Amino acid sequence: MRVLITNYCLTTRSGTELYVRDLALELRRQGHTPAVYASWLGPIAEELSAAGIPVTDSPARLDFPPDIIHGHHRHETLAAVLRFPSAPALFICHSHIGWIEKPPFHSRIIRYFGVSGLCVERLRASGVPSNRIGRLYNFVDLQRFSPRPPLPASPRRALVFSNYATNQTYLPAVAEACKRAGMELSAVGAGVGNSVERPEEILGQYDIVFAKGRAAMEAMAVGNAVILCDFGGVGPMVASSNFERLRPMNFGFQALTETHTPENVLRKIACYDAQDAGKVGEQLRSCAGLNHAVAELAGIYRQTVDEYQSRGAVRGGLRDMGCFATEARFRLIYGALRLWRSIPQEKRQAINNHHGLGAIKRGIQSVLCGRAR
């Protein structure tokens, strides 16, 4: 199948950007033809282009009539749907917060998925009918994140694996807890200016990893003991006994129920069990592999195309977009928002402080973020 994947940006090594990279590469390995559209390009886009996968920051320049659109992020999904009036789409919500994740509405967006219970609830609360909502779990490239040797009986080295860890967020609390536990602590991620291109090459050097979501899953796949922890709070040590409860949460925000204090972190460190961490790694590897997940997605693509064709949906119609009366209007407003994002932050603040110009900007955002009625 010819699959067009959309995403807000491909500039950093985080959540959906890495999801898109792994998905596109695996789709091609499985015999499909992927392409990617994102409003902002960067290192991930360069990586995909080097692998021979078409990438663009404008769907108008993409000579790629897809069989289906795999949509992430509201405006990029709509832009792709409008550019290719014969292609059905599905939309995957990766976050329960943030305006870019608000679900779009169009007659050719057939199915919606959330990667966690909170994301599913966001889709439902936004007005997506329950019979069009499903859940798609995240995945890990198990060939890249291969098992490490068995963990030591007592942990010696720990890693904070997150783009959100800084000295202004939760890193000091984790550092103090690790100091009290007699462990050496390192941190990788954009927040500490230490992003790593190939985390699979360093994870095996650590015993405990503090992470959430995709990063936590990658650490589990390697065989690290994982404590769920990020900007939202501190969660449990992932164990064989709580794995099935935490996976529907995407090992993410919903599980981070405690505040960032050294005492809370120390209680999680005390749950370290080298043998059980190995069991968790086996659980993760048995159910969250990239190959199986993409094969499942390919089946969903075919079902979506079949459903669209069987129901005779109005192709190219804007009948249920509500606030987008015409494609030209959408492109005009979206272009204005892209221009706004290109303005340096200090100048944006000056515009916000100007009553008239700030009101115009807020009006544009309200139109773009408003759901179809």
User: Distance between CA atoms of 236 and 264, rounded to whole angstroms?
Assistant: 10
The predicted structure's pLDDT at residue 348: 60
Average pLDDT, the chain: 88
Percentage above 90 pLDDT, the chain: 73
pLDDT of residue 322: 43
DSSP-derived secondary structure for 9-30:
E-SSSSHHHHHHHHHHHHHHHT
Q: What is the mean pLDDT of residues 236-246?
A: 98
pLDDT for 6-30, tens place per residue?
999 998 888 899 999 999 999 999 9
Q: Is the pLDDT of residue 248 over 80?
A: yes
What class does CATH assign to 157-287? Answer: alpha beta
| pLDDT tens digits for range 55-99 | 999 888 888 899 999 999 998 999 999 999 999 999 999 998 888
Nearest to 73 by CA among 16, 136, 133: 16
Residue 249 — very low, low, confident or very high, per pLDDT cuts 50/70/90? Answer: very high
- For residue 363, pLDDT over 60 is answered with no
| pLDDT of 45 above 50 | yes
CA 204 to chain centre: 24
d(CA 308, CA 264): 50
The SS3 call for residue 148 is coil
Q: Decide if 2-139+289-311 and 157-287 have a common fold.
A: yes
* pLDDT over 70 at 315, yes or no: no
Return the beta strands (E) in the chain as ranges: 2-9, 33-40, 55-56, 68-71, 89-93, 109-114, 133-135, 157-161, 184-188, 208-211, 225-230, 233-237
Q: How confident is the model at residue 38 (pLDDT cuts 50, 70, 90)?
A: very high
**Which of the four pLDDT bands, split at 50, 70 and 90, describes residue 372?**
very low
Topology of domain 2-139+289-311 in CATH is Rossmann fold (3.40.50)
The strand pairing partners of 36, in sequence order, are 5, 55
What pLDDT score does 358 carry?
56
119-144: pLDDT as tens digits:
999 999 999 999 999 999 999 999 99
Q: How far apart are CA 16 and CA 6, in angstroms?
A: 10
Output the DSSP codes for 239-301.
-TTTHHHHGGGTTSGGG--B---HHHHHHHHTT--HHHHHHHHHHHHHH-BHHHHHHHHHHHH
Q: How confident is the model at residue 320 (pLDDT cuts 50, 70, 90)?
A: very low
> What is the per-residue pLDDT for 367?
46
Q: Mark out the alpha helices in 61-134 (DSSP H runs).
A: 74-83, 117-125
Give the mean model confidence (pLDDT) for residues 309-334.
53
Q: What is the pLDDT of residue 14?
A: 83
- Residue 336 has a pLDDT of 64
Confidence band, pLDDT 50/70/90 cuts, at residue 43: very high
Cα angle 264-269-271, degrees, rounded to a multiple of 5: 105
Domain boundaries, the chain: 2-139+289-311, 157-287, 327-369
